[in-house]
Each structure stands twice: as structure tokens, then as C-alpha cells.
Structure 1
Amino acid sequence: MGLWHLAHRADWDAACAAGTYRVSTRGRTLDEVGFVHASRPAQLAHVAEAVYADDPEDLVVLVLDEALVGAAGVPVIEEDGGTGELFPHVYGPIDPSWVTEVLPARFDEHGRFRVDVPG
């Protein structure tokens, strides 16, 4: 099914050095929100365009192995994002070892969100 999180490249690089990722969403931490926002692949473009469209920082998509998250005892709960659509929320910090891919992401010249998936 896929568990994706949109991140600033700088935040991800800092998390790799620190050993844990604690950013929930743009400008908000896990400690402030209580969980890390995530999306299913089909949901991410809409979220990115709503929250990150004017963000000048380099973006990446963290592809998480949901089985590893669960095996670590960190709950992933599908919850209403405010419109009735369910989004996965990760109730704990992300261990970098759970991330199977880091995909470059950007907005094209028309303002549409793009993920650079290899292959």
C-alpha cells in the first residue's frame, strides 16, 4: 500500500545524523502535533500542493516500510484529515532504518507536485 512522508531534505539529513526524524509536517514537530503526518502514494500530491506549494526548500519523499514501523511498536493509525479522507499518522519518531527509499520531489512549472521515481 505504501507509507510516504514529505520532508525537507535538510530535516532528513539532520535526522540521519541524529538517528531519529521528528518532523510532523511543514513547520511542526512530532512533539507539537503528537504524530508524524504521512500519506498513501495517491494522496501525496494533493497534500504537497496544499501545504508545500510555496516552500522554497528542497523536498524529498521518505518511503517507509510500514511493517518495520509496526514491528518497532509504533502505531500507524488511519485518521480523518478533516475532510473525511483517512490519512496514516505515525505515532512516534521515525527511525531512519525504516526508510527504504528517499525520492527527490519538486513542483513543475505549472505548480504540480512531482516525485522523481527511479526507473
Structure 2
Amino acid sequence: MPRILPALGALCIAAATPAAAEFSKVTSASQFKSLVSGKTLTRPLVKLRVNSNGAITGKGAAWDVSGKWTWKNGYFCRSLDWGGEDLGYNCQEVQASGKKIRFTSDQGTGDSAEFSLR
């Protein structure tokens, strides 16, 4: 399976993205849920739903993405499967700006990816 790492972004496997707008850190699970509730997180070749019940579903390129998430110590912590491949567990800093959301892997010290909220 070809690896389209930038398309899946930090939510799946982190890929660097330049800063484009003023982002504010998301500090609580309730704030995060209000941002993503009923929305699809999109970027080229990627459409994901991060549900308030802890489920992650969607597509990355042509493959299904599924996983689980929780909010732990101020971070979005997730485990993911992409097309049958276990992408592992990672806790990520979340920032938001308008209709954009940014995930930065490794508790904010790794690579980042932005998604549009639609």
C-alpha cells in the first residue's frame, strides 16, 4: 500500500504544515468535542470523523481509517488503523482557528497537520 503520510496528517501519521493563521490551544475535552461535533475533518485525500463517543472513522486516500480517542492531561490521545495497518498510539496537542484544527504529534513537540472542519 503506498504511504500517503502528508495526506493523513498528524491525526494518522504526522506531516509538517506551515502556520497560516492564529491558532489557540484547545485545553479540554468539552472544548474539543464542541469543535468536532457533527463535523468532518478534511484535507486532500482525507476525510475523518472524530466522534464524541471516542470513535474515529473515515478514509485516508482509498483506505479505511478507524480508531479510538480519549482526552488525557490536555492532549488528544488516539490509536489508529489505516487500511489494516496499525499506526499506533500518540497524544497530540490540538489548536483551533476558525474552521481549521491543527494536531501536533508527541504532545506538541512533533510534526503538525491542519484539517478543515466541514
Query: The TM-score by the shorter chain falls in which range?
Result: under 0.3
TM value normalised by structure 2 = 0.27
TM value normalised by structure 1 = 0.27
Structure with more of its chain in strand, by fraction: 2
Structure whose alpha-carbon radius of gyration is higher: 1
Compare relative contact order (CA 8 Å, sep 6+) and give the higher one, 1 or 2: 1
